[in-house]
C-alpha cells in the first residue's frame, strides 16, 4: 500500500485567511492535494487565497453546517483564532483570544461527531503555541514537559484539550505548538526590523530570554508532514533546532542587514506600550523540536542567521 504522502488528499483549512493559511493552501496544492478553505467571510478569497482553492463560508462555524463540509474529507487543519499580537490584552481582548480558538475547535469536533466513522476526516491538525510551557528563562522544554501558568499557557492547554476530544472518535490528532514564524511579510519580523532600519536596533531586555522561532518554509512543511504521515500524533514543537538567546538573535539580525545591534529596548518601555502582552517578548523558554526530529523531519533552516539571510535576500 502506498504511503498517504503519495496520495492526493481532500484537505479542509479552517480560518485560513491570515499569514499562514494562504501559503499553506499553496504548498498543499503544489503537491496535488485538493484544498477547501472554510471561513466566516468567503469574500476574502480573491485577495488572499491561491487560485483554484475552493472557499466555503460558514457563519459562526456552526457545527451542523460544518458537518456537510467535513463529510468525506481526509484531513482538517484548524488555523482559526483572533490575532495574538493585535491590540492590548484587556480583559475583553483576552476573552476573545480564548473564545475564538476554543469555540471554533469545539465546533469542528462537534461536526465530526455528527459523521459516521467512514465519513470523518482521518486526521485533525490543530494549531497551538509554544507558550503552552509558560515563561521560563532557564531550562529546556520538550513536548513531554508540563504546561505553564501564564495566560497564554492556560489558553493553549484549553485549546489543545478541546482538539484532543476528537481522538475518542478514532481521529488522529496533532497539535502544532508554534514558535515565532520568520518569513517575508511576517509581522513579527517586520516589528523586529523596524528599529534596525533607523540604526537603533538591539535586543529586548533582559536579552537572556530564549527566542523560539521557525522559518516559514519549515512551518508550512511541518503542517504538511503532520497531515501526510500516519505515525505523527500528539503535540509537536514547531520550532527550529537553533533556538537562541534574544541578544544573539539581535546580533544576527544586525549582521544580516549591516546595522548595529547595540541599543537594547528597555523592558519598562515595552510594558508601558504593550502591557501584559510584552511578556511575549520579555520572557521565553528553550523549546526543542524533539518530536519532529524523532519522526525524521529535516529542517531546511535549522540556524537563525541562515534563515534571516535567506528571508532578507
pLDDT in tens, 35-80: 999 988 767 655 678 888 999 999 889 999 999 999 999 999 999 9
Is the pLDDT at 184 greater than 70? The verdict is yes
Average per-residue pLDDT for the chain? 90
Interaxial angle between packed helices 304-311 and 246-257, expressed in degrees from 0 to 180 and rounded to the nearest 10: 40
Q: What percent of the chain has pLDDT over 90?
A: 67
CA distance 168 to 51: 36
C-alpha cell of residue 64: 451542523
Q: Mean pLDDT across the stretch 299-310?
A: 96
Environment class of 24 (CB within 10 Å of its CB; exposed 0-12, middle 13-18, buried 19+): buried
DSSP letter string, 225-292:
HHHH-TT--EEEEE--S--EEHHHHHHHHHHHHT-----PBPHHHHHHHHGGGGHHHH---EE--HHH
Please state, in angstroms and as integers, the Cα–Cα distance from residue 60 to each residue in 14, 56, 84, 124, following that order.
Answer: 12, 12, 20, 20
Average pLDDT over residues 87-96: 89
**Rounded CA separation 186/18 (Å):** 10
The pTM of the full predicted model, rounded to 2 decimals, is: 0.93
pLDDT, position 230: 95
Q: Which pLDDT does position 2 carry in this prediction?
A: 35
Q: What is the pLDDT of residue 137?
A: 55
- Confidence check: pLDDT of 209 > 60: yes
How far CA 190 is from CA of 61, 120, 246, 276, 307, in Å, comes to: 32, 40, 16, 21, 15
Give kind and range of the element (H or E) at residue 177.
strand 172-178
* Cβ pair 179, 212 in contact under 8 A: yes
Residue 142 has pLDDT above 60, yes or no: yes
| Residue 139: DSSP 8-state | S
What pLDDT shows up at residue 139? 77
**pLDDT computed for residue 265 by the predictor:** 75
DSSP code of 123?
A: E
| Contact between residue 202 and residue 262 where contact means Cβ atoms under 8 Å apart | yes
Q: pLDDT band at 105, cuts 50/70/90?
A: very high
Higher model confidence: residue 201 or residue 265?
A: 201
Instruction: Give the model's pLDDT for residue 3.
Output: 47
Average pLDDT (170-193) is: 92
Tell me the three cell numbers of residue 100. 475564538
State the average pLDDT over residues 165-172.
98
Q: Please tell me which residue, 41 or 176, carries the higher pLDDT value.
A: 176
* CATH number of 4-179+213-239+288-298, picked from 2.60.120.10, 1.10.3470.10, 3.40.50.720, 1.10.560.10: 3.40.50.720
pLDDT of 87 > 80? The answer is no
As a whole number, mean pLDDT of residues 105-116 equals: 97
Is the predicted pLDDT of residue 5 greater than 60, yes or no?
no
Residue 201 phi, psi (nearest 5): -80, 155
* Cβ partners under 8 Å of residue 74, min gap 6: 9, 10, 11, 121, 122, 123
More confident residue, 288 or 269: 288
User: Residue 89 has what pLDDT?
Assistant: 85
Over residues 68-96, mean pLDDT = 91
Please report which helix (H) or strand (E) contains residue 119, including its range.
none
Domain ranges for the chain: 4-179+213-239+288-298
* CA count, 13 A, side-chain hemisphere, 157: 12
Q: What is the pLDDT of residue 274?
A: 64
CA angle 55, 56, 62 (to 5 degrees): 150
Amino acid at each position: 500500500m502506498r504511503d498517504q504522502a503519495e496520495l492526493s488528499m481532500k484537505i479542509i483549512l479552517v480560518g485560513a485567511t491570515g499569514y499562514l493559511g494562504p501559503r499553506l493552501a499553496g504548498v498543499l496544492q503544489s503537491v496535488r492535494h485538493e484544498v477547501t478553505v472554510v471561513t466566516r467571510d468567503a469574500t476574502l478569497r480573491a485577495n488572499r487565497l491561491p487560485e483554484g482553492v475552493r472557499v466555503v463560508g460558514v457563519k459562526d462555524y456552526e457545527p451542523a453546517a460544518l458537518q456537510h463540509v467535513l463529510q468525506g474529507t481526509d484531513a482538517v487543519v484548524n488555523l482559526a483564532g483572533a490575532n495574538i499580537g493585535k491590540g492590548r490584552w484587556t480583559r475583553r481582548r483576552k476573552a476573545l483570544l480564548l473564545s475564538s480558538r476554543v469555540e471554533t475547535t469545539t465546533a469542528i469536533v462537534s461536526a465530526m461527531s455528527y459523521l459516521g466513522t467512514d465519513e470523518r476526516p482521518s486526521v485533525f491538525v490543530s494549531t497551538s503555541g509554544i507558550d503552552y510551557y509558560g515563561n521560563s528563562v532557564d531550562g529546556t522544554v520538550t513536548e513531554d514537559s508540563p504546561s505553564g501558568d501564564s495566560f497564554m499557557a492556560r489558553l493553549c492547554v484549553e485549546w489543545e484539550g478541546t482538539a484532543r476530544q476528537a481522538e475518542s472518535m478514532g481521529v488522529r490528532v496533532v497539535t502544532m505548538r508554534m514558535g515565532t514564524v520568520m518569513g517575508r511579510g511576517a509581522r513579527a519580523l517586520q516589528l523586529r526590523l523596524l528599529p534596525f532600519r533607523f540604526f537603533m536596533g538591539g535586543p529586548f531586555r533582559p536579552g537572556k530570554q530564549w527566542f523560539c522561532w521557525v522559518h516559514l518554509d519549515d512551518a508550512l512543511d511541518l503542517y504538511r508532514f503532520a497531515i501526510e504521515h500516519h505515525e505523527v500524533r500528539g503535540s509537536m514543537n514547531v520550532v527550529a533546532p537553533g533556538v537562541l538567546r534574544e541578544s544573539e538573535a539581535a546580533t544576527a539580525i544586525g549582521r544580516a542587514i549591516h546595522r548595529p545591534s547595540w541599543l537594547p529596548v528597555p523592558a519598562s518601555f515595552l510594558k508601558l506600550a504593550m502591557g501584559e502582552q510584552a511578556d511575549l517578548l520579555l520572557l521565553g523558554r528553550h523549546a526543542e523540536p524533539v518530536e519532529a526530529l524523532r519522526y525524521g523531519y529535516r529542517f531546511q533552516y535549522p540556524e537563525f542567521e541562515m534563515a534571516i539571510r535567506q528571508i532578507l535576500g
